[in-house]
Amino acid sequence: MICPLDFRYGRLELKHLFSEEQRLAYLLKVEAALARAHARAGTIPEEAAREIAEKATPEHVKLERVKEIEREIKHDVMAVVRALSEQCEHGRYVHLGATSYDIVDTANALQMRDALSMIEESMKTLLGNMVKLAERHRDTIMLGRTHGQYALPVTFGLKMAVYAMELVRHLKRLSQVEDEISVGKMSGAVGTGAAFGDTFFDVQNHVMEELGLAAEIPATQIVGRDRYVSLFSFLANLATSLEKWATEVRNLQRSEIGEVEEFFGERQVGSSTMPHKRNPITCEQICGLARVVRSTLLPAWENAIQWHERDLCNSSAERFIIPHALVLTDWIVTQMGKVFSTLKVYPERMKENIERSNGLIFAEAVMMKLTEKGMSRQEAHELMRRYAMEAKERNVHLKDILKKQKEMVERLGDMDELFDAASYVGKARELVGLALEKIQHDFPDINV
């Protein structure tokens, strides 16, 4: 074994879809649909179609025999055709009128559609876990950070609601992409359908109807690779969000922050030499594999550039990128779901970190109150900037600086409420509620 997908990453269900045996099953399924379509169009006998469809399974067409033929003739699809023909008395009707990529691209559509369906279920599980965290922590106040620095108070529930709505958008994109890639062809070597004669449209329509696909109208020898670009762009986009969320967990788990933590098993080991370590290894894995998923986008773009009606450059690359991108995307979605389902959240540490800010995160709140009291916004901003910089340089609380300023005391009076984080989270609670309502409306099967 060479590829880590064989032994380390990926759910068995997804990997099964891309196994050699299952790939053969997809190809045979298309050949069976083609035979039945011919029979419906009246171009081959009904009994021939029944026999071909019955024998077009891996139980009759053995993978070992297909490989044996391919070693001899150096053509993978023709090896399947010959192996199937050997099993049929009416073998002369197998693959009638078709070119290899009628079978390959139609099988690709079935395979990618099935993979996306599984990924969708993983995404919905992840969404459910995000929703639970958003609801549970609607009022859990924490530091908001911009540029890696203290910003303003926010709630952990709002953070999770933002993530959940981003995932909702990805789910909607998935639906669009599934429509784009659920397209096959049965139009022959250059897309004209010449080998099918007058029955071309009937045959192609019957095949696609049986398989639940749309037909590429018109096609060259292959389905348009702009469709595959859309698929890989979606996967790269989703992987980017997953890496972003995992990076946030990693940052919030840093020793000096310590506001959340990945689940760490009782007997889990964090380091081979440092017994105290509790590393966010799942989130780190998500980040690393997300980069692999995004790397598949470049060959997908390159594959869309074909010579004339097609060349073969896309074939070898797609054997790598289609299974790897789909299996890894599903894997990191699933892993992210596990992270959020078992995430430890430490509200007390969040409060401690707010206190460590020495009141600097309330400079805007004071500035806005000064404008309410008649000071110009620009004057209030400059005044608070100076006081905030002084507090930072002297490492004292901002409120202590302000209480020594006669003008501030006169304008603001009691300042305690201005330095209460709970009073300066705006409409965070309501925003979480709006997000959860929308999710419930769009995805009623997600428990909100």
Place of tokens 């950070």: 145
Fold held by 11-96: Fumarase C; Chain B, domain 1 (1.10.275)
Phi/psi at 169 (5° precision): -65, -40
Q: Residue 155 in 3-state DSSP? A: strand
Residue 58: cis peptide before it, omega within 30 degrees of 0:
no
> Would you call 255 a catalytic residue per the annotation?
no
pLDDT in tens, 154-207: 999 999 999 999 999 999 999 999 999 999 999 999 999 999 999 999 999 999
Predicted TM-score (pTM) of the model is 0.95
Sign of torsion over alpha carbons 174, 9, 338, 430: negative
Determine which one of 19, 117, 271, 423 is catalytic. Answer: 271
441/201 Cα distance (integer angstroms): 41
Other beta carbons within 10 Å of 215: 19
Q: How many CB atoms lie within 10 A of CB 389?
A: 13
> Which tokens go with 173?
């994109």
Question: Which of 147, 276, 308, 441 is the catalytic position?
Answer: 147
357 is catalytic: no
Instruction: Check residue 448 and give its pLDDT.
Output: 66
pLDDT (tens place) for every residue of the chain, 448 residues total: 789 998 899 999 999 999 999 999 999 999 999 999 999 999 999 999 999 999 999 999 999 999 999 999 999 999 999 999 999 999 999 999 999 999 999 999 999 999 999 999 999 999 999 999 999 999 999 999 999 999 999 999 999 999 999 999 999 999 999 999 999 999 999 999 999 999 999 999 999 999 999 999 999 999 999 999 999 999 999 999 999 999 999 999 999 999 999 988 788 888 788 888 899 999 999 999 999 999 999 999 999 999 999 999 999 999 999 999 999 999 999 999 999 999 999 999 999 999 999 999 999 999 999 999 999 999 999 999 999 999 999 999 999 999 999 989 999 998 999 999 999 999 999 999 999 999 999 999 887 6
Domain borders along the chain are 11-96, 357-413
Task: Locate 324 and state its tokens.
Answer: 């790897």
